[in-house]
């Protein structure tokens, strides 16, 4: 937590800069015939920005690169003493040194060499921390004095502060783009490494999924197989069940709320749907696993059917409940934007309310409703916690909703939870599945958003 202390020290200097800068401007305004260019606080902000921003950037950069440099130092020391070491041993050794220095768990008994390396390492970290503190504070103080000196009535402090602020705004609007780029690149990078180990077509069209790879080459179960068809089938089965529940219930409740319900009923039912939308998915998962699934299994036994305790039916139905408010609020919006004139025309022809809805409003709102359903489907495909808790792990290729199936998201979670070596096919497979999930949902979202937008333009 030494870094936090430095951070607060820099923050203090920034505040100090503001006070001193403003004070200097106040003093200037007192006995100078030339009026100040900007209002007083801008001189304070000008000094504060100079004091805080560069030194905080130095600190951030230092903290990102310093651990790597320290590890490289350890590595080069080790290579000097033992030239024959393999890269794997080297990583392990470095991990041990770092853990020893920070009080973590070691993979071996510490020997003298390890202890001295760890001492060196923590000494380097300490020196580096002090160097960072000295550099950052020195820079901050230097900036404080030079910017204070620069303050004079002609200094265009406001313009300069505004320039910095607008640059900060631009950078923050880039973060959204960077996130997408980060997602795409991290997924593609790992996926390419996965396809080095497993052929592309085996992954996409294989029908056998058992990702257990052996730790030793002589173990039974050898290489694992990564045919993802059972996962796609399971995902589609659960999504299908989910939509069978969510579309009729969501659509009908949207119709009832927007066309029939009185004010009082709306005031009661709308919050209920909002609460349903706000419940965390892990709660739905618990509900599915502990209440709905046992209920289905027992009713199945009564009817003489064998229902798996992790049936697709339970997971899909609970997911459908989760999606209901999503569909109902989106289609409520699109139906409300159908012009009143269409309704009036239909009533004038003598149609009843339900005839107007089914024959006029729904056809007119259909593109928007399709968009809503697509958005809901992409959400159902990407939904994780309900299926992790209520659907199975075994990859069965079946269309029977009473059996256990697994989904893409479940497999991502099971492949990545727990400690694994990072470059095994097993962990990389999770990234390949993640990329697939990202691409599929992205396409659905883009199409859905386009459809909805086009539809809105039609009636605006």
Partner 1 sequence: MTDNTPPLKINPTLLKRRNAAEKRFRFYGLAAVMTAVLVLCLLLTSIISKGYTAFQQTYILVDIRLDAESIDPKGTKRVEDLAAASYKGLLRNALREQFPGIEGRKAKRSLYGLVGSAADFDVRDAVLDNPKLVGTTATIAVKSSDDVDSFYKGYIPRDVPESNRKIKDRELAWLDTLAADDRIVKKFNVDFFTNGDSREPEEAGILGAVVGSLYTLAITLALCFPIGVLTAIYLEEFAPTNKWTDLIEVNINNLAAVPSIVFGLLGLAIFLNFMGLPRSAPIVGGMVLALMTLPTIIIASRAALKAVPPSIREAALGIGASRMQTVFHHVLPLAMPGILTGTILGMAQALGETAPLLMIGMVAFIADIPGSMSDAATVLPVQIYLWADSPERGFVEKTSAAIMILLAFLVVMNAIAVILRKRFERRW
The two tokens of residue 238 are 């659960």
CB of 291 to partner 1, least distance (A): 5
Give, as ranges, the residues between 309 and 328 that touch partner 1 (CB under 8 A). Answer: 321, 324-325, 328
Give the whole-angstrom CA distance, residue 127 versus residue 106: 24
Among 358, 363, 393, 458, contact with partner 1 (rule: CB under 8 A)? 358
Looking only at residues 81 through 140 of this chain, which bind partner 1 when binding is defined by CB under 8 A?
A: none
Q: Is 437 in the site for partner 1 (CB under 8 A)?
A: yes
Residue of 376, 387, 394, 396 whose CA lies nearest to 445: 376
Is the CB of 308 or the CB of 356 nearer to partner 1?
356
Looking at the Cβ atoms of 172 and 217, the one nearer to partner 1 is 172
The answer to the question of residue 291 lying near partner 1 (CB under 8 A) is: yes
The verdict on 426 binding partner 1 (CB under 8 A) reads no
d(CA 181, CA 187): 10
Q: Least distance from C-beta 62 to partner 1, angstroms?
A: 14
Residues 426 and 224 sit within 8 Å (Cβ to Cβ): yes
Q: Which is nearer to partner 1, 147 or 253 (CB)?
A: 253
Question: What is the C-alpha separation between 232 and 223, in angstroms, rounded?
Answer: 22
Residue 191 within binding range of partner 1, rule CB under 8 A: no
How many Å is the Cα radius of gyration of the chain?
31
Question: Residues 94, 231, 409, 455: which binds partner 1 (CB under 8 A)?
Answer: 409
Binding mask 223-262 for partner 1 (x = CB under 8 A): -------------------------xxxxxx-xxx-xxx-
Interface characters, 441-460, with partner 1 (x: CB under 8 A) = xx--xx--x-----------
Interface with partner 1, residue 420, by CB under 8 A: no
11 binds partner 1 (CB under 8 A): no
SS3 content of the chain, % helix, strand, coil (to 5): 80, 0, 20
Number of residues that bind partner 1 (CB under 8 A): 91
CB of 113 or CB of 416, closer to partner 1: 416
One of 26, 116, 355, 393 touching partner 1 (CB under 8 A): 355
Does 417 contact partner 1 by CB under 8 A?
A: yes
Query: Does 289 participate in binding partner 1 (rule CB under 8 A)?
Result: yes
Judged by beta carbon, residue 86 or residue 173, the one nearer partner 1 is 173
The CA distance from 139 to 62, in Å, is 14
Q: How far apart are the C-alpha atoms of 239 and 230, rounded to whole Å? A: 14
Q: Is residue 430 a contact point for partner 1 (CB under 8 A)?
A: yes
372: nearest Cα among 237, 203, 238, 247: 247
Q: Which two tokens stand for residue 176?
A: 């959204």
Taking the least distance from each CB to partner 1, the nearer of 150 and 353 is 353
Q: Among 17-25, 29-37, 223-231, 279-287, which window interacts with partner 1 (CB under 8 A)?
A: 279-287
Q: Which of 30, 31, 33, 64 binds partner 1 (CB under 8 A)?
A: 64
Residues 19-58 that bind partner 1 (CB under 8 A): none
Which of 1, 83, 154, 348 touches partner 1 (CB under 8 A)? 1
**Ranges within 152-171 binding partner 1 (CB under 8 A):** 158, 162, 165-166, 168-170
Residue of 93, 287, 296, 455 that binds partner 1 (CB under 8 A) = 287
């Amino acid at each position: 937590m030494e870094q936090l202390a430095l951070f607060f020290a820099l923050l203090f200097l920034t505040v100090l800069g503001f006070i001193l800068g403003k004070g200097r401007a106040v003093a200037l305004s007192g006995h100078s015939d030339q009026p100040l260019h900007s209002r007083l606080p801008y001189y304070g902000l000008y000094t504060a920005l100079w004091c805080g921003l560069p030194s905080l950037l130095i600190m951030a950069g230092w903290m990102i690169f310093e651990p790597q440099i320290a590890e490289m130092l350890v590595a080069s020391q080790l290579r000097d003493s033992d030239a024959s070491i393999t890269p794997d041993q080297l990583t392990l050794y470095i991990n041990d040194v770092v853990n020893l220095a920070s009080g973590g768990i070691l993979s071996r008994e510490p020997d003298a060499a390890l202890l001295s390396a760890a001492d060196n390492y923590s000494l380097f970290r300490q020196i580096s921390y002090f160097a960072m503190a000295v550099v950052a504070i020195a820079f901050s103080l230097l900036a404080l004095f030079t910017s204070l000196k620069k303050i004079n009535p002609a200094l265009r402090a406001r313009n300069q502060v505004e320039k910095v602020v607008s640059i900060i705004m631009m950078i923050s609007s880039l973060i959204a783009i960077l996130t997408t780029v980060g997602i795409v690149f991290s997924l593609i990078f790992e996926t390419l490494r996965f396809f080095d180990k497993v052929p592309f077509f085996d992954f996409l069209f294989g029908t056998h999924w058992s990702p257990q790879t052996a730790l030793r080459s002589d173990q039974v179960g050898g290489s694992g197989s990564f045919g993802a068809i059972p996962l796609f089938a399971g995902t589609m089965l659960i999504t299908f069940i989910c939509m069978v529940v969510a579309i009729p219930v969501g659509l009908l409740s949207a119709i009832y709320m927007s066309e029939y319900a009185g004010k009082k009923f709306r005031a009661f039912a709308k919050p209920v749907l909002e609460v349903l939308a706000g419940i965390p998915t892990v709660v739905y998962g618990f509900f599915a696993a502990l209440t709905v699934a046992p209920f289905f299994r027992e009713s199945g036994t009564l009817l003489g059917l064998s229902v798996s305790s992790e049936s697709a039916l339970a997971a899909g139905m609970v997911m459908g409940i989760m999606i209901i408010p999503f569909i109902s609020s989106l289609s409520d919006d699109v139906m409300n934007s159908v012009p009143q004139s269409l309704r009036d025309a239909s009533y004038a022809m003598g149609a009843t309310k339900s005839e107007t809805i089914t024959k006029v409003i729904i056809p007119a709102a259909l593109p928007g409703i399709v968009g809503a359903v697509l958005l809901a489907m992409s959400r159902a495909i990407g939904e994780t916690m309900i299926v992790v808790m209520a659907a199975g792990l075994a990859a069965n290729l079946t269309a029977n909703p009473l059996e256990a199936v697994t989904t893409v998201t479940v497999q991502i979670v099971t492949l990545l939870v727990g400690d694994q070596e990072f470059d095994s096919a097993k962990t990389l497979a999770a990234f390949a599945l993640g990329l697939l999930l990202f691409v599929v949902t992205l396409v659905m979202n883009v199409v859905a958003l386009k459809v909805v937008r086009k539809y809105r333009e039609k009636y605006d």
